[in-house]
Amino acid sequence: MNVLVCGGAGFIGSAFIKSYHQNNRDSKITNLDNLTIGSNLQNLKELKDDPNYKFIKDDIRNESVIDSLVKDSDVTINFAAESHVDRSIANPKPFLETNIFGTYSILEAIRKHDKQFIHVSTDEVYGDAQGKSSFNEDSQINPSNPYAATKAAADNLVMSYHRTYGINCITTRCTNNFGPNQFPEKLIPKTIIRLLKNLKVPLYGDGTQIRSWIYVNDHVQAIESLIKKGKPGHVYNITAYEEITNKSIVEKILDILGKPREHLIVLSWIRTSSARVEPELVVATLAERLNQVESYAVQHRVDICVPGLVIERMPRPLRLKEPAILHLVIFRLQAFILAKLRHPEDI
């Protein structure tokens, strides 16, 4: 199979490429990425000389390039997107250009050449929970910031192409990802990096906002399942049902690094024209449709994986080089966190 991955040098896109390549050695993968903020070819350095992998630096809005690449591919997966909420508030224009017009460029090529398309969206399109316990795939989309609005617009555009032209497309909406190579502006890597530098960690709001987390490898495995068995025109929510407050995440990392609670600064939002109002999302999205596609089991949990991410971010002189010792350290860190979970009164 020939696979075109748009935005494959980013955090999730590169994880997909590595996972798909490992599971499908005979498939040829083309990675199109414009190498903007959040992209890093070092994420894929082990595939640089692989004959079944090719990188092309270009923009998904380049219709002629997209047309040629889609024509030669069996399936296109689009991870390319502007995705930072605060930046979308400061300057929405790049989000419209990439998330909407970039998706349009791909859709036109898909329609012309009758190929499969996986549109990777986000649970942020559902907006504020407003008392709901969870969202499912049939929930009304109600974006609350420019980033989410542009992704919702792209979702609607994809669905319109399915209904109007009958294209073979699937939309995925995933909860918060975490894992190796995540861009440092995100909560978990930002917290680890600041604490390793002995800096305080600011937490906006009161820290009680609930987020649902999923390890990036579980997310991309779900996408691979959908390529094989997903139903055209359907939306699939992807989640691990790990609902944790932002404050709890930061406190777990504080404990791993042996830092006192004083390193956590809880800030209150001040409403100004440029302030982001933090939506209280309850993102325990349903995954029944995915479970119907294929037996799908989440393999990674926050409490087991975060210690390894802490070690990954440590400066090289501090890293342990002996694998046996490293595994022992990770095991002890995992045991420590699990003990805290079993006895929350000790936290």
Which among 20, 53, 126, 147 is annotated as catalytic? Answer: 147
Residue 147 annotated as catalytic? yes
In sequence order, the 6+-apart residues with CB closer than 8 A to the CB of 247 are: 203, 206, 207, 208, 264, 266
* CA distance readout (Å), 144 to 29, 124, 238, 280: 35, 8, 20, 11
In sequence order, the 6+-apart residues with CB closer than 8 A to the CB of 216 are: 11, 12, 15, 177, 178, 179, 180, 182
Extract the tokens encoding 241.
């049902």
Extract the tokens encoding 139.
């929930």
Contact yes or no for 244/174 (Cβ under 8 A)? no
Phi and psi at residue 283, to the nearest 5°: -110, 40
Residue 124 annotated as catalytic? yes
Which among 123, 155, 218, 251 is annotated as catalytic? Answer: 123
Which among 33, 59, 82, 124 is annotated as catalytic? Answer: 124
DSSP output for 235-266: EEEE---EEEEHHHHHHHHHHHHT--GGGEEE
Residue 53 annotated as catalytic? no
Strands 116-122 and 176-178: unpaired
**Which amino acid is residue 131, in one-letter code?**
G
Extract the tokens encoding 335.
């045991």
Residue 275 is given by DSSP the state P
Question: Which residues are identified as catalytic?
Answer: 123-124, 147
